[in-house]
Amino acid sequence: MQHSETETESQTGIEAGTGSVTVLGLGPMGRALASAFLDAGLRTTVWNRTPGRDRELVARGARGAASAAEAVTASELTVVCVVNYGAVEGILRDGPVADALKGRTVVNLSSGAPEGARGTADWAAAHGIRFLDGAIMTPTTTIGTPAGVFLYAGPEDLYREHRPVLDALNGTHTHLGEEIGRAAAYDIALLDIFWTASAGFAHALAVARAEGITGRELTPYAQGIAAILPPIFEGWAANLDDGDFSGEDNPLTSAVSSMAHIAETSEAHGIDASLMRAVEAGARRTVELGHGTDGFHRIAEVLGRD
């Protein structure tokens, strides 16, 4: 089987005061993670490159470590959540930190490219450090609530061993498979949707404002567009997997025309339309390849060609 999924249970399985965890990185997300661990009653040790970010957590009972090496020594499990894999490695590769981590487990919850996860995992293996990679798919406000979404990849036994502590974060936890780059790969694909959709919305706001429509006036209709997407995504994804490219109700030739109207209207207002022009160019290329009667999802197949 490609992947196994395990949904979170309602209880953490940890009795207050019995478990422990270290959190490295106290940006908004690291602080949210540490806060949820504290709320769940875990002995929580924290460290951040720039001192002072632990003040509120320490006031609530966290132990503020003076160094990353001291922090990782305090717990069997260290969760690291910083800006990217470069920062993760910058912290972990420090001699005393790597030495202290030998035989312990690191769960990375920083975002980054799958290659970053693979490189960090190789380094960890070479240093006798047990390593799981992960990604958080929801904002800081969801951490510690049922709405949090956490993805993991790496050795399943390691995941199962540390699941009781991870459950303290509440939310849904899913192990996607043993290939260590898999959580980061999901993260990248999902963030691709988030940022291109957000860029589309920012652009739509600019065009609407140029036409005298306020953000508040547009938003209910924008939410309507967002609401029609889930079944469309489901259909396209299944059709792509099955090699079915039929575009009966909305052929690419019609989509291209709609895209051109958007770009022309933007440009008439002096608003950069390069994002829509790029989408339009991709769609036109796909039509030129003979797929004009296919659906929009044919673009995914064409983009993936060598």
Measured from the CB atom, is 83 or 289 closer to ligand NDP?
A: 83
Residue 82 beta carbon to ligand NDP: minimum distance, rounded to whole angstroms: 3
Task: Give me the residue whose beta carbon is nearest to ligand NDP.
Answer: 27
Q: Which residues pair with 285 in a beta bridge?
A: none
Q: What is the per-residue binding string for ligand NDP in 101-120, x denoting contact by CB under 6 A?
A: ---------xx---------
Q: Which is nearer to ligand NDP, 110 or 239 (CB)?
A: 110
Residue 174 interacting with ligand NDP (CB under 6 A): no
136 or 279: whose CB is closer to ligand NDP? 136
To ligand NDP, the closest distance from the beta carbon of 203 in angstroms equals: 22
In the list 49, 118, 209, 277, the residue contacting ligand NDP (rule: CB under 6 A) is 49
Which listed residue (46, 80, 87, 169) binds ligand NDP by CB under 6 A?
87
Of the candidates 21, 65, 79, 82, which one interacts with ligand NDP according to CB under 6 A?
A: 82
Find the binder of ligand NDP among 2, 10, 11, 50 (CB under 6 A): 50
Q: Which is nearer to ligand NDP, 52 or 224 (CB)?
A: 52
Q: Is 274 left (phi over 0), alpha (psi -120 to 50) or beta?
A: alpha
Binding mask 139-168 for ligand NDP (x = CB under 6 A): xx----------------------------
Q: Binding to ligand NDP by residue 91, rule CB under 6 A?
A: yes
CA–CA gap between residue 176 and residue 268 (Å, rounded): 47
State the SS3 of the chain: CCCCCCCCCCCCCCCCCCCEEEEECCCHHHHHHHHHHHHCCCEEEEECCCCCCCHHHHHCCCEECCCHHHHHHCCCEEEECCCCHHHHHHHHCCHHHHHHHCCCEEEECCCCCHHHHHHHHHHHHHCCCEEEEEEECCCHHHCCCCCCEEEEECCHHHHHHHHHHHHHHCCEEEECCCCCCHHHHHHHHHHHHHHHHHHHHHHHHHHHHHCCCCHHHHHHHHHHHHHHHHHHHHHHHHHHHHCCCECCCCCHHHHHHHHHHHHHHHHHCCCCCHHHHHHHHHHHHHHHHHHCCECCCHHHHHHCCC
Query: Which of 12, 22, 44, 48 lies at the binding interface for ligand NDP (CB under 6 A)?
Result: 48
How far apart are CB 33 and ligand NDP at their closest, in Å? Answer: 9
Q: Does 29 bind ligand NDP (CB under 6 A)?
A: yes
Interface residues toward ligand NDP, by CB under 6 A: 25-30, 48-50, 53, 81-83, 87, 90-91, 110-111, 136, 139-140
